Structure 1
């Protein structure tokens, strides 16, 4: 893979003991240093007009002023420093780079992966939350649409938390199909199965709230049974993966049971799906707070695109996960049969 990265993202200072720390990127870089064929691209900060295409101008101005005044606690979880403004613009810029590179034909071993922070999928149109300030994946998706590079984008969010911000921003946008697999009841307690989009965008939001303890078997079944058919019917020119790794079985803040090898299988399956429908494919880093599990999982995704074949999954889909998928099918998404 080719990774977008910039040292400026390390300057976002969340203070001691905050789970979303610069050490996340350092750990990933250290792990990737042990791999073969790792390349990096340095992306520029995003044009503020691209941010304003999805975020409220008053909020953006308040965030900039907050950082200029030295930052602090935006809310109980979300922390900014003086340098967070530039880091957030850079993180969004790296996501935009990944989307653009994918549409320019970067694939295979050159498949783009945006390694930026702060993450983005909780940031709503007019507020920061959940460690996130700019909604990187949404900004990138809207940017390539507005620039005429693609007509439709699909976002697949496998972070353990529901990406309420992506849903908030894209809920009435018929050009973006958002799918989230998340742990039911976990922060921010959004993402119900019956939330499927609004107006002309009805049927372009899909939520799969799996119960705690779901393994990669459930995730893989979701991809083959509901996500793949829905994406094929939507026919996007680009798939962006909001790639959080906090559903890992050893992540400290979740109860899901995806293994490192399981992330390799997910990457393998989403790559096959993108090839089948002729869509570009890019990854945007979201969560993941155990440094070892985060770095090993990103490394696994890289290795899959470098030719590694993960071990086949021999687990069974739990009855509770199967019930969730049956309820998703019943929502009547185009291409998805009951």
Structure 2
């Protein structure tokens, strides 16, 4: 894959007890280096004007000032230091670059994957939360829509937490489709099935709050019966995967049970979906806090594009999970 990375993303220091640390990127890079000669691409940071196309301009300025004054605790989960300002802008810039590269034809074994931090999918219009300052995927989608070859962007968020920020920023837009598979009842407690979009965005929001304990079979069922028909109908020009790996069975902060192989199967289906819709495909890192699980899962995504055929899950999805998928299909008329 074509991995986007910049050392300045390591300088966002969250402290020794915080789960979202620079160790995450270091673990990924060590794991990739074991089996692959990986080259990393950097880029320019997102500027304030670009960030303010998605976020409130006064909020962007307040983050800049907060960091310039040394940072501190923004909320109970979200902290900053002086270097966070640059790290967050580079994280957004890497996401933009990944999507631009995909749209310019970078695909196959060089499919772009942005390895930035802090993550972004909890950042709302005028606030930081959930470790996130700027919504990297939403910013990248906004920039992509400037292109004459892009009318519609789809974002699929497989992070274990609902991307309330991405929903907040796209809920009333017909040119951005957002699908989230997340653990029901987990932070931030948003992402109901009945939420389907507003105004011009009606029908472009798909939420699947899956029950705790869902694993490979349950996620694959949701991908095949929700994501694939919904996005084939939407027919995007750009397909962004908000790739959080905290639904892994060995992640410390969720109850989900996806295996490393399961992430490979989902990656394979996303590649198939992009091919079916003739959409450019890019991955943007979100969460994932078990270092070994995170690193092995990112490596699995890479391996799939390098030719590995992931092992399909055994067994049937649970009735609790299929009932959620059935309800979402009903709400979105996917039958």
Q: CA deviation at 1:117?
A: 0.2
> Which residue number in structure 2 is paired with residue 92 of structure 1?
92
Q: Is it true that 1:20 corresponds to 2:44 in the alignment?
A: no
2:214 paired residue number: 214
Q: How far off its partner does 1:50 sit?
A: 1.5
Assess if the C-alpha contact under 8 Å between 1:37 and 1:306 holds in 2: no
Q: CA deviation at 1:149?
A: 4.3
Gaps of 5+ in 1: none
Contact 2:153-2:236 at 8 Å conserved across structures: yes
- Residue 258 (structure 1) aligns with: 258
SS in structure 2 opposite 1:207?
strand
Partner of 2:246, secondary structure, is coil
Q: Which residue of 2 aligns with 1:229?
A: 229
Deviates further, 158-167 or 224-233: 224-233
1:109 equivalent in structure 2: 109
Change (3 A) 1:271 1:37: farther
| Structure 1 segments (4+ residues) deviating >6 Å | none
Write out aligned runs for 1:1-338 (5 A). Answer: 1-333=1-333, 336-337=334-335
SS of the residue corresponding to residue 168 of structure 1 reads: helix
Provide the secondary structure at the position in 1 that maps to 2:34. coil
SS in 2 for 1:282: strand
Paired with 1:273 and 1:255, the residues of 2 have a C-alpha distance of 28
SS in 1 for 2:208: strand
Quick one: distance in 1 between partners of 2:229 and 2:43?
Answer: 33
Looking at structure 1, the residues matched to 58 and 51 of structure 2 have their Cα atoms a distance apart, in angstroms, of 12
Helix, strand or coil for the counterpart of 1:146?
A: coil
- Superposition deviation, residue 175 in structure 1: 0.2
RMSD: 0.9
| SS of corresponding position for 1:273 | helix
Q: What secondary structure, in the 3-state scheme, does the structure 1 residue paired with 2:145 have?
A: helix
Partners of 2:157 and 2:94 lie apart in 1 by: 17
Q: CA deviation at 1:37?
A: 4.8
Residues 35-88 of structure 1 show CA distances to partners (whole Å, capped at 9, x for unaligned) of 225231112101322211110011111111000000000000000000000000
Give the Cα separation in 1 of the matches to 2:91 and 2:97. 10
Instruction: Give SS of 2:35's match.
Output: coil
Q: What SS does the corresponding residue of 2:331 show, helix, strand or coil?
A: coil
TM-score (norm 1): 0.98
Q: TM-score, normalised by structure 2?
A: 0.99
Deviation at 1:298, TM superposition (A): 0.3
- Give CA deviations for 1:200-254 in whole Å, capped at 9, x if unaligned: 2100000000000001111111111111111011110010000000000010000
Q: In the aligned structure 1, how far is the partner of 2:233 from the partner of 2:120? A: 27
Structure 2 stretches of 5 or more lacking a match? Answer: none
